[in-house]
């Protein structure tokens, strides 16, 4: 699991996070409100925002269910009296041609999970804005996904995280692997927690 390939993928993630952090620091020093942009933070003001918030919560729960069902060790635990709670939604892909449960269901689970992930971000963006959607769902969901893979299928950590980008490699090493996504999502989560903590302390000092 912890090979030279894995080490390269972790370092790759750290490099990306370092450049991102440097970019944020430079933007802050020049008082460029990248994440305060009206375009990125705008959301629906009407009651429809509540509807999209409900859809986002349903999408997040569905994504979690699909991630867990994709793990063979957990799939049987999620059956309800022998009824596979994911099998029937996946069968809808059969109308598009081929088998929705191809390769023991991994293709179907992956495609459906990716679609729900994207739709959840869209719904949450309409409800609370894109920046908050990334903070509250996009990054945490990737962190959750990669941790589940690390715990229940660690041999897949150095493989590509999304089949759609299987050709995105360097000397045979996946550039969008589970190790890469784990490193980036974990680093960004820590970065956000530290940033919010420093901001809260700054507000308290200014009030004093």
Give the tens place of pLDDT for each residue, 149-167.
999 888 889 888 877 676 7
For residue 119, the surrounding DSSP H or E stretch is helix 106-128
- Dist. CA 106–CA 69, nearest whole Å: 10
Burial of 148 (0-12, 13-18, 19+ CB in 10 A): middle
DSSP, collapsed to helix, strand or coil, labels residue 160 as strand
Res 177 pLDDT > 60: yes
Domain count within the chain: 1
Mean pLDDT of the chain: 82
pLDDT at residue 117, rounded to an integer: 94
- Dist. CA 1–CA 159, nearest whole Å: 11
Residue found by looking up tokens 């897949």 in the block:
156
* Cβ atoms within 10 Å of 193's Cβ, excluding its own: 10
Residue 28 φ/ψ, nearest 5 degrees: -65, -40
What is the value of pTM for the model shown?
Answer: 0.82
Domain extent, residue 48, equals: 4-207
- Dist. CA 42–CA 207, nearest whole Å: 29
Banded model confidence at residue 84, pLDDT cuts 50, 70, 90: low
pLDDT > 70 fraction of the chain, expressed in percent and rounded:
77
Cβ-based neighbours of 41, under 8 Å, separated by 6 or more: 35, 129, 130, 131, 132
* Cβ atoms within 10 Å of 128's Cβ, excluding its own: 20
């Amino acid at each position: 699991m912890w090979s030279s390939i894995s080490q390269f993928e972790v370092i790759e993630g750290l490099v990306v996070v370092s450049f991102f952090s440097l970019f944020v620091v430079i933007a802050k020093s020049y008082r460029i409100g990248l994440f305060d942009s009206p375009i990125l933070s705008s959301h629906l003001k009407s009651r429809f925002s509540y509807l999209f918030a409900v859809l986002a919560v349903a999408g997040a729960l569905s994504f979690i269910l699909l991630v867990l069902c994709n793990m063979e060790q957990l799939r049987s635990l999620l059956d309800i009296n022998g009824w596979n709670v994911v099998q029937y939604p996946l069968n809808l892909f059969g109308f598009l041609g081929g088998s929705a449960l191809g390769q023991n269901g991994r293709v179907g689970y992956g495609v459906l999970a990716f679609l729900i992930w994207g739709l959840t971000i869209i719904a949450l963006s309409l409800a609370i804005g894109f920046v908050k959607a990334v903070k509250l769902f996009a990054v945490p969901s990737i962190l959750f996904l990669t941790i589940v893979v690390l715990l229940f299928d660690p041999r897949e950590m150095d493989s590509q995280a999304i089949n759609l980008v299987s050709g995105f490699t360097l000397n045979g090493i996946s550039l969008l692997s589970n190790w890469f996504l784990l490193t980036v999502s974990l680093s960004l989560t820590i970065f956000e927690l530290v940033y919010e903590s420093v901001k809260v302390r700054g507000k308290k000092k200014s009030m004093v």
